[in-house]
């Protein structure tokens, strides 16, 4: 039986990345001093994690079986459960490195760019019922997807976000078509305000919760109010012209480098959060100067924050947790590991696929979520995989995959467009994320009722409308046990246990309460899609 639902207490914010060994310009990552391959970094991850729990004499969970691993990997990288065909192919693979191959295949598939575009869009432009955000979110998601599809390295993506031209008025955004991919919605989500952009960029790209110092010195960290506004000054060239109903950043404001601290008459100059002063270059805008510093290999925050956020995506909890709140009182659980991940990320030119590949290859990631202990150990020891709730997108797309539901989108709709009152819009609205901690996911009564009785799930599991059910029911060559197995593979990405198969075969053969075998198969499918095993990532 699956272990109990995990509740976490937040820990941790930022330390300094260990100095990287020198690398000659132009050297490929594999030839740089100290650079590890993905396989070598995976081994290093395991060594550092194992050292910690062995010191505490806590045994780890065994490695997950193929079904548990493949479903988890598909959800974490591809954003949905695997297809029945992919699951069968993976189970039948005999190669010793089949799990490594599965990681590589998913990273090379369109599912990776689609899923991670949604992940980053949610971080940059949170779900909002406002029509403006419903319209602009897809533009950002489409832009992210294009960059991820091209494997644009992380530092290049962040630079493009920070330095994107900001012009928005009644004529349009940046002179673009309204449906053209652009990172501009990130600025719009922050209302173009320097203080909002300062807090958002520090949190997302530096792993620092700087906004707590906006009105007063941070009570528990080193950040001072003046530091916050010095950082906000890098965005002071973005202004809202009074009475014009739009935002504008013009060339004469591109080099604006000062800002007045809100509620005071004091004006401060742009300065990096580590206290160093920018080296201004002629013809380089203020935000370009900021981007140079943010993405620099010498920046003690940038690579470390990205490594920690990536780790948290796959494990449900960061090495620094909550993200961006490391201090003497909240240290990283494995500081040496976080240093190593950040160092290798820099040595591999901020290649996000490299980092994901190393994590996926590790035994630490491949451990089961089961635990024999009645009192499971601290999840930050990573002795087992934490159980995570699915995001709304993961849940919807997994139901679509399991049932083979085909939702017709409007002709020429932009990527990411969600039609109002459509099954997807209704579903995402009810299952919008209530917390950014997937290990503390809570299901509301409305969400439970939507799964049990909602039109989307009802249609997807009805004998008349379900493609999956129709395929199983209309297969005369399949006996009842094979039909039950097919439904298990479709919904749970595994074959039923012997006891499950025996019980459900009897249920279907007697036709359930109505004496109808087809309806009994629909009952089985409905129960699987409403099970905890389906709605959780384990």
Per-domain boundaries in the chain: 389-406+416-537
What pLDDT is recorded for position 321?
93
pLDDT at 239 over 60: yes
- Lowest model confidence (mean pLDDT) among 52-66, 118-132, 323-337, 496-510: 118-132
Q: Which two tokens stand for residue 458?
A: 């009802």
- Give the pLDDT of residue 133: 58
Report the SS3 class of residue 6: coil
Least confident interval from 98-102, 266-270, 389-393: 389-393
Q: Which numeric CATH code is attached to 389-406+416-537?
A: 1.10.3130
Q: Please write down the HEC assignment for all residues of 166-194.
A: CEEECCEECCCCCCCCCCHHHHHHCCCCH
Place 448 in a pLDDT band, splitting at 50, 70 and 90.
Answer: low
Query: What share of the chain has pLDDT > 70, as a percent?
Result: 79
Percent of the chain with pLDDT over 90: 59
The whole-number pLDDT of residue 82 equals 98
Average pLDDT over residues 244-269: 74
| Other CB atoms within 10 A of residue 476 CB | 6
> Is residue 418 predicted with pLDDT exceeding 90?
no
Nearest in space to 346 (alpha carbons), one of 405, 306, 288, 291: 306
Q: Please, where are the H alpha helices in 56-178? A: 66-73, 84-92, 98-107, 110-124, 131-149, 154-163
Model confidence at 494: pLDDT above 80: yes
C-alpha dist (Å) from residue 242 to 245, 247, 263, 267, 309: 7, 9, 19, 21, 38
Confidence label for 171 from pLDDT (cuts 50, 70 and 90) = very low
pLDDT for 21 beyond 70: no
- Give the pLDDT mean for 174-182: 66
* Residues 349 and 153 sit within 8 Å (Cβ to Cβ): yes
Average pLDDT, the chain: 84
Q: Is residue 530 scored above 80 in pLDDT?
A: yes
Burial-class residue 30 by CB neighbours within 10 Å (0-12, 13-18, 19+).
exposed
pLDDT tens digit sequence for 323-373: 888 877 789 999 999 999 999 999 999 999 999 999 999 999 999 998 777
Name the pLDDT band for 392 (thresholds 50, 70, 90). confident
Instruction: Tell me the pLDDT band of 433, cut-offs 50, 70 and 90.
Output: low
DSSP 408: P
Question: What pLDDT sits at residue 29?
Answer: 80
User: How far is it, in rounded angstroms, from Cα 195 to Cα 316?
Assistant: 29
Whether 248 has a pLDDT exceeding 80, the answer reads no
Among 18-22, 37-41, 362-366, 487-491, which stretch is predicted with the lowest mean pLDDT? 18-22
Position 177 scores a pLDDT of: 56
Q: How does pLDDT run across 135-169, given as a tens digit for each residue?
A: 677 889 999 999 999 999 999 999 999 999 886 55
pTM above 0.85, yes or no: yes
pLDDT at 252: 42
The number of angstroms, rounded, from the C-alpha of 484 to the middle of its chain's C-alpha atoms is 33
Q: Please give the radius of gyration of the chain, using alpha carbons only, rounded to the nearest integer.
A: 25
**Higher-pLDDT residue of 429, 380:** 380
CA distances from 383 to 202, 266, 274, 330, 363 (A): 31, 51, 35, 20, 10
Site of tokens 């009897």: 506
Q: Which of 503, 395, 511, 497 is nearest to 447 (CA)?
A: 395
- Give the pLDDT band of residue 69 (cuts 50, 70, 90): very high
Look up residue 105 and give its two tokens.
């295949």
Which H helix or E strand runs over 269? strand 267-269
Q: Report the pLDDT value the prediction gives residue 9, as an integer from 0 to 100.
A: 28
Nearest to 535 by CA among 433, 406, 357, 398: 398
Tokens coding 114: 């689609």
Looking only at the bridges linking them, the beta strands covering 167-169 and 247-248 are antiparallel
Contacts of 227 (CB under 8 A, 6+ apart): 210, 213, 271, 273, 275
């Amino acid at each position: 039986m699956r272990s109990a639902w995990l509740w976490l207490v937040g820990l941790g914010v930022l330390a300094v990345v260990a100095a990287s060994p020198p690398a000659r310009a132009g050297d490929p990552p594999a030839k740089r001093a100290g650079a590890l391959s993905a396989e070598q970094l995976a081994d290093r991850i395991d060594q550092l994690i194992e050292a910690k729990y062995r010191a505490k004499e806590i045994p780890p969970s065994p490695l997950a079986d193929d079904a548990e691993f493949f479903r988890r990997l598909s959800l974490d990288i591809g954003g949905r459960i695997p297809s029945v065909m992919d699951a069968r192919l993976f189970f039948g693979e005999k190669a010793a490195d089949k799990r490594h191959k599965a990681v590589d295949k998913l990273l090379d598939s369109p599912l990776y760019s689609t899923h991670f575009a949604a992940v980053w869009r949610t971080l940059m432009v949170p779900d909002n019922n406002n029509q403006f955000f419903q319209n602009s979110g897809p533009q950002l998601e489409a832009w992210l997807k294009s960059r991820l599809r091209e494997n644009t390295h992380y530092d290049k993506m962040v630079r493009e976000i920070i330095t994107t031209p900001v012009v928005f008025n009644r004529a349009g955004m940046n002179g673009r078509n309204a449906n053209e991919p652009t990172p501009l919605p990130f600025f719009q989500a922050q209302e173009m305000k320097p203080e909002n952009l300062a807090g958002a960029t520090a949190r997302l790209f530096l792993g620092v919760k700087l906004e707590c110092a906006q009105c007063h010195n941070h009570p528990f960290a080193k950040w001072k109010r003046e530091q916050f506004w010095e950082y906000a000054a890098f965005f002071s060239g973005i202004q809202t012209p009074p009475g014009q109903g739009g935002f504008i950043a013009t060339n004469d404001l591109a080099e604006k480098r000062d800002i007045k601290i809100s509620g005071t008459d004091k004006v401060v100059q742009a300065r990096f959060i580590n206290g160093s002063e920018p080296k201004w270059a002629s013809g380089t805008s203020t935000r370009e100067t900021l981007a140079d510093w943010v993405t620099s290999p010498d920046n003690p925050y940038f690579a470390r924050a990205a490594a920690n956020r990536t780790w948290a995506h796959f494990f449900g909890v960061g090495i620094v947790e909550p993200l961006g709140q490391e201090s003497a009182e909240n240290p990283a659980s494995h500081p040496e590991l976080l240093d190593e991940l950040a160092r290798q990320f820099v040595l591999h030119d901020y290649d996000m696929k490299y980092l994901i590949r190393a994590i996926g290859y590790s035994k630490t990631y491949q451990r089961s979520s089961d635990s024999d202990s009645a009192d499971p150990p601290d999840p930050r020891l990573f002795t087992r995989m934490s159980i995570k709730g699915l995001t709304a997108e993961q849940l919807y797309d997994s139901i679509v995959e399991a049932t083979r539901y085909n939702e017709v989108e409007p002709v020429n709709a932009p990527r990411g467009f969600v039609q109002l009152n459509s099954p997807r819009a209704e579903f995402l609205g009810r299952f919008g994320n209530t917390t950014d901690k997937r290990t503390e996911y809570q299901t509301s009564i409305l969400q439970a009722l939507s799964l049990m009785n909602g039109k989307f799930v009802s249609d997807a599991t009805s004998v008349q409308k379900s493609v999956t059910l129709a395929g199983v029911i209309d297969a005369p060559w399949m006996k009842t046990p094979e039909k039950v197995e097919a439904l298990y593979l479709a919904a749970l990405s595994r074959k039923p246990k012997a006891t499950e198969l025996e019980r459900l075969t009897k249920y279907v053969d007697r036709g359930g309460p109505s004496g109808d075998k087809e309806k009994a198969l629909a009952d089985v499918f409905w129960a699987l899609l409403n099970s905890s095993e389906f709605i959780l990532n384990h």
